[in-house]
Structure 1
């Protein structure tokens, strides 16, 4: 098995999750509460930290920022795997950074989210670790 291919698939899964999350944040109803009156309440209430925003705006910003982080991970690690595999697979920094990031997302998904992101991120983590192990073995 080719380590770069496995890393690219791993990164692609994360990037795809980020893209889907971004689309659902701005164009779908999947991230809305089932009780739609909560949207109105969130849009009227400011957080304790500042009166210059609302809980709803923060909700949207946190979701969008989360999506961007997933997309960034997918793009960077996909690019490194495809264009600079030697750098990626010889850099302890990139390997540990990626492992820590993916492991953190898996913990968050397990604790706070639902099965689809957990499954996708879990698979991505398995592919990531496998790609690194294969690169070390070569």
Structure 2
């Protein structure tokens, strides 16, 4: 049961990361509805440097955010399948997914919308339950 919960939680993260990356790189889903906002972003550098603009930074932040979720899934799914004893015998590896997913959940509550919030909420429930089952 615990192994399945870890895999389901990580799979949700992987799926959300993949969809987010596809939307970032191959669609206009994250473009502002007001085209003047995009134009302003293209013509405005961030305060930290003039080597980029806010639009490039926005795309980069979204892409790296997606890669983080994909990497998390790419690490935990094979670990669960091939070496579950590492998770079940080590508090760090059993609790880390809960910490990561709850951190994402807090971001989702404050900054994101319903779909990622719901997915991350389900993944968090899977991870917290799995960690509790493994460690009790």
50-59 vs 93-102, which moves further: 93-102
Partner of residue 19, structure 1: 18
Taking the aligned partners of 1:90 and 1:115, their CA distance within structure 2 comes to: 35
Partner of residue 40, structure 1: 39
Structure 1 position 76 matched with structure 2 position 75:
yes
* TM norm structure 1: 0.93
Partner of residue 132, structure 2: 133
Structure 1 spans left out of the alignment, 5+ residues: none
* TM norm structure 2: 0.95
| Aligned residues: CA RMSD | 1.1
Partner of residue 29, structure 2: 30
Which runs of structure 2 are paired with 1:1-138 in the superposition (5 Å)?
Answer: 2-137=1-136
- Alpha-carbon displacement from aligned partner over 1:72-104 (angstroms, at most 9, x marks no partner): 111111111111101012111122322211110
Taking the aligned partners of 1:49 and 1:129, their CA distance within structure 2 comes to: 38
In the comparison of the two structures, how many residue pairs are matched? 136
Taking the aligned partners of 1:102 and 1:38, their CA distance within structure 2 comes to: 31
Q: Deviation of residue 30 (structure 1)?
A: 1.1
- Alpha-carbon displacement from aligned partner over 1:7-52 (angstroms, at most 9, x marks no partner): 1011000010000000000111110100022112111111111111
Q: Say if 2:17 and 2:69, in contact at 8 Å, map to a contact too.
A: yes
10-19 vs 27-36, which moves further: 27-36
Q: Deviation of residue 6 (structure 1)?
A: 1.3
